[in-house]
Chain A
């Protein structure tokens, strides 16, 4: 076995070991981006808390009615049943009173990031 082969094998092993770490770092960056985009574009309707006259935010109110009697949270950031593709479809197509968002507002990569952020706690 030549030194060169060992060096290549070591490099491959190192990259292999690094890959999950890099992937996790990329995930963390995407989740951070997703959280920022969610805060800017979505949280004004889908956030938590109560406001004037004790009312919740509009999206949270609407989902509270939709999921009344279930254990599904009306607050999107607390959901554990949403996958990225569904989130992205709702962004682009709207649903009930929620209008659509164009790519000039939420770019494709921001939509991916929001999808990943909302799906971060997904459980089967």
Chain B
């Protein structure tokens, strides 16, 4: 491999491989921590193809990373110990940004910060959509089904991609969609090309190494407006969600909605409500009445010309007031785009496609940290929940029960709001699961909690949209319809296109044939095996 990339770009020493460990691993220092045996850093798709061919010859497992910043979802570490990490950070070229057709074409090493700076320096009239941490790769984040914070069409990063270049597991360079048609200038305009659409295989997959990817960009809007609607009763949440669904699905409001409840603020009365387990509806309503004030809030966001966003906001208010007596509006704010530097500084920057790192404040040291100190990191648990009040309440209760069963402070109440990143689905999160680099016992407890999250959620029909490598087999095993028909289909595809099983073995539960046979119970099918469903049966007894 040194002959392909040069001696400087092959890493084998313990010192050089240390940053290829996942600092947020729930298995840090344990015998089953996923560790790389080496790393190689190519500079081109041709070099990637050459590496893949060598790996096939010697049956070396490879694990591609883009910028390696996918923390809580594995970072730069592989999903199978002994893999050689293919570190694509050096492939950091911004190949094209078009602010007339509104797209970008980039390599895997391009971070959100890089593309944002490029757009600013060239005064292009497009926005990017970025996740919370701005240092990640557009390609890596999209391939892990990452999400952002601007307008509906762009928040789903895989959903807003258009066209890929992929090095196949046998070392061919392939382009998808219109990129397969020589001479076509529509690679980033029309994503399907003709015939079966294979791009989905590369999201959370191990069917190739993506070396270029196109993304649709948000034409810089003229303005942004936000306003908050509050409703008086706990039971009003159902109607509020339905009305916001209408506004979103009609594309009258394309910004991200933030749901919250003022009833969720800590206090002795809330502690009393939760003291004897998950409360019934009557107790919840009584608590809400006792507290007084609104029960739920929805902060709406609109992008577009001032006249349009003001009209849509007024219509949203009128519509919700018609359905929910006592609904009120507050905190209306309109900003013209581009924002002033002061407006940029004081607002939630990702809502304006401005990458930043403020989310890391969530794992910064806190003065309120107890004697155990601040964890070294955390792992996220976010699962897909239908957009209804009843589903949100069931989801909150599943998290509550999982924490209770594993001896963690429950924290959860019936007043948690869902997150809204994707189009047409809520995400509900469990309190983050801490990890420690000096305390294996605490990591073991964290793994128990995470496994309970997955099982208790699955028992209610909920599943995560992405997960940490330590949990991928378990999660995928819960998607067991038809005796794991989906996974078995993916395994047959894997065996066909990657006969030596060298690309990212085990990623999202898809193991190549020789490792399925040798690992036996380690596979997702055996490991998950519908434990969530069993959990449900136990509850029914």
Residues of A within 8 A of B (CB): 44-45, 49-52, 55, 57-59, 61-63, 65-66, 68, 92-94, 96-97, 99-105
Contacts and interface: CB of A to CB of B under 8 A. Distances in A.
A97 B373 CA distance: 12
Interface string B435-451: 00000000000000000
Give the dominant DSSP class at A's interface: loop
A68 B364 CA distance: 14
Interface stretch (B294-302, B328-336, B355-363): B355-363
Given A44-B134, A62-B364, A102-B87, 16 more contacts: A50-B345, A52-B349, A58-B361, A59-B360, A62-B365, A65-B369, A68-B367, A97-B375, A97-B376, A99-B24, A99-B75, A100-B18, A100-B21, A101-B19, A102-B39, A103-B16
Contact of A52 (B41, B358, B374): B358
A58 B360 contact: yes
Give the dominant DSSP class at B's interface: loop
Contacts of A66: 365
- Shortest 10 CB-CB contacts between residues of A and residues of B: A58-B360, A100-B19, A97-B363, A62-B364, A65-B365, A104-B89, A102-B19, A61-B364, A44-B357, A62-B365
Contact of A105 (B89, B348, B359, B377): B89
Contacts of B71: 99
A45 B20 contact: no
A92 B15 CA distance: 8
A44 B369 CA distance: 24
B135 A97 contact: no
Q: Which of A57, A100, A101 has the most chain B CB within a 10 Å cutoff? A: A100
A59 B23 CA distance: 16
A97 B346 CA distance: 24
Given A58-B361, A104-B87, A52 B19 contact: no
B347 interface: yes
A93 to B, nearest CB: 6
Contacts of A49: 345
B374 A44 contact: no
B96 interface: no
Interface string B127-154: 0000000110000000000000000000
Contacts of B53: none
A100 B76 CA distance: 10
Interface string B77-90: 00000000001011
A102 B20 contact: yes
A96 B434 CA distance: 12
Q: Which of A49, A59, A66, A94 has the most chain B CB within a 10 Å cutoff? A: A94
B18 A92 contact: yes
A57 B71 CA distance: 18
Interface in B44-86: 67-69, 71, 75-76
B364 A65 contact: yes
Contact of A102 (B76, B113, B347): B76
B537 interface: no
A30 B366 CA distance: 35
Contacts of B75: 99
Contacts of B134: 44
B11 interface: yes
Given A96-B374, A99-B23, A102-B87, A51 B135 contact: no
B541 to A, nearest CB: 42
Interface in B354-400: 356-361, 363-367, 369, 374-377
B18 to A, nearest CB: 6
B113 A96 contact: no
Interface string B32-49: 000000010100000000
B462 to A, nearest CB: 28
Contacts of A59: 360, 364
A45 B357 contact: yes
B366 A65 contact: yes
Contacts of A93: 18-19
B357 A58 contact: yes
A92 B364 contact: no
A25 B19 CA distance: 33
Nearest to B359: A58
Nearest to A66: B365
